[in-house]
Amino acid sequence: MDINQKLDLIKRNTIEILTVEELKQKLNSKKVLSAYYGTAPTSLYHMAYLVPLSKLFDFDKTGIKNKVLIANIHAALDDLKTPWEKIDIIGDYYQKCIELSFPWDKKPEFVRGSTFQLTKEYQLDVLKLSTVSTVARTTRAASEVTRMKNPKVSELIYPIMQALDEEYLNVDIQLGGIDQRHILAYAREYLPLIKYKSRVEVMTPLIVSLKGPGVKMSASIPESRILVHDSPEIIKKNINNAYCPAGIVQDNPILQLTKFIVFGVKDKLKIERDKKFGGDILFNNYESLEKEFVNKKIHPSDLKNALSKELIDIFKKVRNYFEKNQDLIPK
């Protein structure tokens, strides 16, 4: 795989990269690159969380070494979304969801935030970075990620620590959703002020709610999401009830799940149809499926049935695990 092929694969299903030119330089350096994706264990684990994770498959194909940060300290810093006494319990739940949700050819390295974020060296760097960061800048950085309803000091520490994680995890790339953009831009701007290098930041889109435009998928709204360990019956029900207007691509959660989850880890999708409607059809890439859907040659109900079948199959392992370990699911 040449440099341009690697670059195209890394850019696939992303919204923005800061910066593409820097990424190209790193790929040209011949160094083995490393990347990390961080997730704060705060709630039930639903499929929207897997969009950036599916990018790790693309990273792996280009030779990038992947790390997943279970950011358990961050989960408490964000207005106590997870109480301090539960950060390890829910951290274990998140890690198991990630490990079992995808058919990993090569599992990423898992790192727990508390294993390095509580060290003297790290905390000294937190203080150093806080002395060059304004309240306005850190507030802006945290604004789309933390609650910020009645802002706590901890919510301003949140982006400072996320920036430092790049240095302490010794990576070249940070991967996150587009809602992380202010934090990722903050890291690029402020790490050099304490003599650490900036990294390449790769951002993926967010999946809208199953209810349709204007709302992202949320663990707190059952009808808006699908948990990775939901039963086949719930998956079918929620997909069948989901927003999916014929021929419409924008803010279509069914197409988004198909693009980012199914085609993120597989290279084909079979749509099963009655012969009088054209019979079964096999798609080897998302682009050809979308074209047929836009031209109304694929009915939304047929696409929904195909998606349900794929999601039930992809998440079979994690579902079977939690069926036997119900007590590990956060209440």
Q: Which two tokens stand for residue 248?
A: 């419409």
Q: With CA atoms as reference, report the closest residue to 102 among 326, 328, 313.
A: 313
Do 16 and 153 lie in a common domain? yes
Task: Check if the beta carbon of residue 228 is closer than 8 Å to that of residue 50.
Answer: yes
What is the C-alpha separation between 46 and 197, in angstroms, rounded? Answer: 34
What is the C-alpha separation between 110 and 65, in angstroms, rounded? Answer: 12
The per-residue pLDDT of the chain, averaged, comes to 94
Please, which pLDDT band fits residue 276 given cuts at 50, 70 and 90? confident
Query: Tell me, what's the pLDDT at 114?
Result: 98
Query: Out of 65-74, 97-106, 253-262, 308-317, which region has the weakest mean confidence (pLDDT)?
Result: 97-106
Please, which pLDDT band fits residue 106 given cuts at 50, 70 and 90? confident
pLDDT (mean) for 200-229? 88
Query: Tell me, what's the pLDDT at 264?
Result: 87
Task: Please state whether beta strands 173-177 and 200-204 pair in parallel, antiparallel, or not at all (unpaired).
Answer: parallel
Query: Tell me, what's the pLDDT at 143?
Result: 92
Please, which pLDDT band fits residue 102 given cuts at 50, 70 and 90? confident
Do 213 and 146 lie in a common domain? no
Do 165 and 221 lie in a common domain? no
Do 79 and 218 lie in a common domain? no
pLDDT (mean) for 188-192? 98
Query: Tell me, what's the pLDDT at 111?
Result: 98
pLDDT at 219 over 80: no
Do 197 and 213 lie in a common domain? no
What is the C-alpha separation between 316 and 307, in angstroms, rounded? Answer: 14
Each residue's pLDDT tens digit, 301-326 = 999 999 999 999 999 999 999 999 99
Instruction: Give the domain extent around 155.
Output: 3-204
Query: Tell me, what's the pLDDT at 215?
Result: 75
Query: Tell me, what's the pLDDT at 271?
Result: 95
Residue where a domain stops, chosen among 170, 186, 204: 204
Q: What is the CATH number of the domain that holds 20?
A: 3.40.50.620
pLDDT at 21 over 90: yes
Residue where a domain stops, chosen among 204, 234, 251: 204
Domain count, the chain: 2
Do 223 and 247 lie in a common domain? yes
Query: Tell me, what's the pLDDT at 38?
Result: 97
Do 113 and 189 lie in a common domain? yes
Please, which pLDDT band fits residue 77 given cuts at 50, 70 and 90? very high
Please, which pLDDT band fits residue 274 given cuts at 50, 70 and 90? confident
pLDDT at 220 over 80: no
Amino acid at 318: V
Q: What is the CATH number of the domain that holds 268?
A: 1.10.240.10
Do 198 and 232 lie in a common domain? no
Do 163 and 221 lie in a common domain? no
Query: Out of 45-59, 124-138, 171-185, 235-249, which region has the weakest mean confidence (pLDDT)?
Result: 45-59
Do 161 and 247 lie in a common domain? no
Each residue's pLDDT tens digit, 245-264 = 999 999 999 999 999 999 98
Query: Out of 46-60, 164-178, 215-229, which region has the weakest mean confidence (pLDDT)?
Result: 215-229
Residue where a domain stops, chosen among 139, 174, 204: 204
Do 223 and 187 lie in a common domain? no
Task: Please state whether beta strands 208-209 and 212-216 pair in parallel, antiparallel, or not at all (unpaired).
Answer: antiparallel
Do 161 and 81 lie in a common domain? yes
